[in-house]
Structure 1
Amino acid sequence: MIRMANWRHNLLTDVRVQMLLLCEEISEDGEPVHRAIELPLVVDQTPILAVTWTVKHRIDANSPLHGPDRLAQLGAAGAELVVCLRGIDDTFNTEIHARHRYTLDDIVVGAVFENVLVPRADGSRVLDYRSFHRVVAVDASPRS
């Protein structure tokens, strides 16, 4: 999961996100080859980004991140994640782009993001950015 926020004072529309695993492999003839593997996302677009959005890649048997030692193997090989976002600034009707790189050391296994939407007494909610990067451990054991 990767959480993002719109800190602008306007909406972003037609927002699309792409997550890539950048890794280096050795070709059949022994040469290093750089590969960009697109990681499928549970949801990769939203019509409106007003506040926050948590983008998720499901790590299952089809994911290149799957396996007990896979993250360590990829990390040792210098693999990185790149997240690219693009959308339309609703006020100025201009396309915006954002990109961020993560090392595999940035991945926290067995955790989810802490809730940042705090309810008020009047029923409205406020975004608490102080908790934006905090994660909470979850039980990852299989359910019967």
Structure 2
Amino acid sequence: MPKKIKDPGLGEQSSEFAQSIMNSDGSFNVNRVNKRTNILDTYHYLINITWTRFFLLAIVAFTAVNVLFALIYLLIGVDQIMVPTNSVLENFITALFFSAQTLTTLGYGYLAPNGMLSGFISSFEAFLGLSMFAFLTGLIYGRFSKPKASIRFSENLIFRDFNTTKAIMFRLVNNRSNVMIKPKATVTLALSKLNNKNEYKRSFYNLKLEREQINYLPTTWTIVHEIDQDSPLIEYKNDELNLLNAELVVMITYFDQSFNQEVHQIHAYNFKDLKLNYKFNPAFYYDKDGKLILDFDKIDSITPYKS
């Protein structure tokens, strides 16, 4: 008989129109509202955003600081750093260039402070620039050195005959060429159903797998859950599986030699996307020299299954 487990942290409350628990990138599908901001969370935010957003924020911050100091130089009088012209725009642009040279501690020698006030402001700006670039360097190093798995999961969750019963399965591959030591899979079924109080509640089950752990992963790993008498899916007919308000939450854990520590990655499959009576095509083969070839274009390749 299938055995329920306690809520693993995903929440038992559900709805008829509840979206997937997780997004495609492995993040939880939760919108946080009325959250108090904390400046101490800035580092965590900057470490985890995408590279595109990170560099856009860096450019915006650099531009904003230079515009601010250029306006300050205009306010105290641009004659303290240059020979002023009759054009306010030209004076501002020149002050902007001077600010950029000061902030980066570059200095070409063409522009220089020639007053007490401008010297004090430019010195403070140079100190600020050193601090900003030290902080930026630390963030870039932190982003590169942060332990992170790079596992590619198949787009499809498939269902087909398996041995004397049936099974659902998916497969995965390591995107990197490093060795994954003792990868282990944990698969949780989150099943949302209407209870006798007319409320949608989630039930959770740890699915028994054909193999929960392997020693290493040089090619692909197809993870299989056989639907036997101990499976929570045994009570459903084949054509009912796609109609279930259910999803699989997958966590892969392994020891990464590159980071010299254990890393993990989470992924989710929705039963609405379950492919019935399909099988995975082989994603690797041997060339004429006997070399094993892994073709990443075939990771998601499936064909109809005929028993």
TM range (shorter): 0.7 to 0.9
Deviation for aligned residue 1:28: 5.5
Whether 1:121 aligns to 2:288 is yes
Deviation for aligned residue 1:55: 0.7
Deviation for aligned residue 1:30: 5.2
Aligned-residue CA RMSD (Å):
1.8
Match of 1:7 in 2: 175
Runs of 4+ in 1 over 3 A off after TM superposition: 25-32
| 8 Å contact kept, 1:85–1:98 | yes
Question: Which of 58, 69, 72 is residue 226 of structure 2 equivalent to?
Answer: 58
Deviations along 1:70-127, whole A, 9 cap, x unmatched? 41442xxx21111110111023221111111111122212111110112200112201
| 8 Å contact kept, 1:82–1:99 | yes
Q: Which one-letter code corresponds to 2:218 in the other structure?
A: A
Match of 1:22 in 2: 190
SS at match of 1:40: coil
Whether 1:35 aligns to 2:221 is no
| 8 Å contact kept, 1:81–1:101 | yes
| 8 Å contact kept, 1:7–1:51 | no
Question: Which of 134, 137, 141 is residue 301 of structure 2 equivalent to?
Answer: 134
Deviation for aligned residue 1:7: 1.3
1:87-98 equivalent positions in 2, closer than 5 A: 87-98=254-265
Gaps of 5+ in 1: none
SS at match of 2:216: strand
Gaps of 5+ in 2: 1-168
Deviation for aligned residue 1:139: 1.6
| 8 Å contact kept, 1:113–1:134 | yes
Take 1:17 and 1:119, find their aligned partners in 2: how far apart are those partners? 27
Take 2:281 and 2:272, find their aligned partners in 1: how far apart are those partners? 19
Q: Which one-letter code corresponds to 2:201 in the other structure?
A: V
Q: TM-score, normalised by structure 1?
A: 0.84
SS at match of 1:105: helix
Whether 1:106 aligns to 2:276 is no
| 8 Å contact kept, 1:3–1:54 | yes
Whether 1:49 aligns to 2:217 is yes
Question: Which of 71, 74, 77 is residue 241 of structure 2 equivalent to?
Answer: 71
Greater helix fraction, Structure 1 or Structure 2: 2
Percent identity between the aligned chains? 30
Q: Which one-letter code corresponds to 2:261 in the other structure?
A: T
| 8 Å contact kept, 1:23–1:80 | yes
Distance 1:105 1:73, change over 3 A: closer
Take 1:18 and 1:106, find their aligned partners in 2: how far apart are those partners? 20
| 8 Å contact kept, 1:17–1:85 | yes
SS at match of 1:41: coil
Report how many residues are paired.
137
Deviation for aligned residue 1:9: 2.1
SS at match of 1:108: strand
Take 1:59 and 1:112, find their aligned partners in 2: how far apart are those partners? 16
Q: TM-score, normalised by structure 2?
A: 0.42
Q: Which one-letter code corresponds to 1:134 in the other structure?
A: S
Indicate the structure (1 or 2) with the bigger Cα radius of gyration: 2
